[in-house]
Amino acid sequence: MSAHDLTFVLGGARSGKSAFAERLASESGLPVSYLATAAVSDEPEMRARIAHHRASRPAHWPTVEVGRDLAGAVLETAREGHCLLIDCLPLWLAGWLCPPDDGPDAPADDTQWHDVVGQLTHALSTAPGKLIVVSNEIGLGVIPMGSLTRRYVDELGRLNQRVAALAPQVRFVVAGLPMAVKG
């Protein structure tokens, strides 16, 4: 199963992937909605990152902070003649595997996580309109220390593979330079 108008944008931290995805959305000529996956944090560094992303995108783009239900947000927000920008999968995954200690959610077990990934890939493959999904490629380095970190890297790699398989177009951004990987 593949999505008819899905572009998957990958890159490392501060590679320019979000700016490139925002440019693709703007250049689509369609109305754009933005699904933000970052949980609001008390950490000053994370708050600064969120503020940077908010400031970089046009104020007229409606933004939905999705929390854990990314699949539901995709199905609710996507529509024909519209562009939906999802930024980014790693923060969404972190909300599932490493939820805040003071929050109501427990970390997902393998069964729950695989069900959630299935729901997301179904949503991405059936949602109408143009979709742009942003993710980090973090599998280019050493095998991380610690079982939770290894699980995170493994699950993000598997999730990226599933989304890339759905997407007719995949772009990899390095130092602000997008490269065509697929399509």
Q: Which residues are catalytic?
A: 53
CA distance 159 to 178: 21
Give me 181's structure tokens: 């990987």
Residue whose pair of structure tokens reads 């708050």 in the numeric block: 47
Who's near 38: CB < 8 A, 6+ residues apart?
A: 46, 49, 50, 53, 65, 88, 91
Whether omega before 88 lies within 30 degrees of 0, making that bond cis, reads yes
DSSP codes of every residue in 52-67: HHHHHS-TTS-EEE-T
Strands 169-174 and 177-182: antiparallel
CA distance 178 to 103: 37
